[in-house]
Amino acid sequence: MDRPTKGTFRLAGREFPEVTWYKDPGLRKAYICLMFVVLTSATNGFDGSMVNGLQSLEVWQEHFNYPKGSLLGLFACIMSVGSLVALPVVPYTADILGRRWGIIIGCLIMLLGVALQGISINFRMFIAARFFLGFGVAIAHGASPLLITELVHPQHRAIFTTIYNITWYAGSIIAAWVTYGTNNIDNNWSWRIPSILQAAPSLIQLTFIFFVPESPRFLISKA
């Protein structure tokens, strides 16, 4: 396929004039707001590293009586189980309530999971908390990419979806360093701190989500 003419981009086999987003006040505001939407992926990435990091903490192992065998396997997979259970709910949440409310509901459920995780008194409670985390992240994860792709200019969709995926690694790296940093704390806060910090992306999203416009596609479907 021929390269597009200079100053244009190609979409669906047609060429359109390129748009400079930072010169357009509407796009500029929308893109700044959407940076809070991409944080859904960071929550997932944070969890991926934290799960491994916690198992290296002696205090965590001692507090939960050195979990092993099938119980440890359940701990590793329960977040995915929560996400699978949530799958039938995800499309209805985004299509009936809206993309923004999908993110809000997902974040609230994740915060419930984080709270239970941070105060867990036994391993089964910790596992149950992670089920709620998986359930919530599936709902938010189902709505966030929709809101992003339906709000950004077609020229910038690939860039924004790439940013969304990159934040997974940002969350993962932060969790790895946080868990490494709390390794020297000789009490339960060595695992409670990373567990509670997992709430940060959801709290930020809940704070700023109402500054993000609702998806035009969703609004038209309800007209």
Give the pLDDT band (50/70/90) at residue 158: confident
Residue 157's contacts (CB-CB under 8 Å, 6 or more residues apart) are 148, 149
- Calculate mean pLDDT across residues 133-161: 91
Distance CA 43, CA 191 (A): 17
Determine what percent of the chain is predicted with pLDDT higher than 90: 71
The CA-based dihedral angle spanning residues 21, 27, 30, 34, taken in that order and rounded to the nearest 10 degrees: -30
Confidence (pLDDT) at 27 = 84
Determine what percent of the chain is predicted with pLDDT higher than 70: 91
pLDDT over 90 at 7, yes or no: no
Distance CA 147, CA 220 (A): 14
Residue 109's contacts (CB-CB under 8 Å, 6 or more residues apart) are 132, 135, 136, 139
pLDDT over 90 at 138, yes or no: yes
Distance CA 91, CA 105 (A): 13
Give the pLDDT band (50/70/90) at residue 25: confident
Give the pLDDT band (50/70/90) at residue 30: confident
- Calculate mean pLDDT across residues 174-193: 93
Q: CA-based angle 169:155:24, to the nearest 5?
A: 100
pLDDT over 60 at 12, yes or no: no
Confidence (pLDDT) at 154 = 84
pTM: 0.89
Q: Is the dihedral of CA 193, 199, 201, 204 positive or negative?
A: negative
Distance CA 199, CA 19 (A): 36
Distance CA 18, CA 153 (A): 10
Paired residues of 41 in beta bridges: none
Give the helix ranges, DSSP H, for 3-68: 25-37, 39-54, 58-63
94 contacts 138 by C-beta, under 8 angstroms: no
Tokens of 38: 């991409």
CATH of domain 36-216: 1.20.1250.20
Domain boundaries, the chain: 36-216
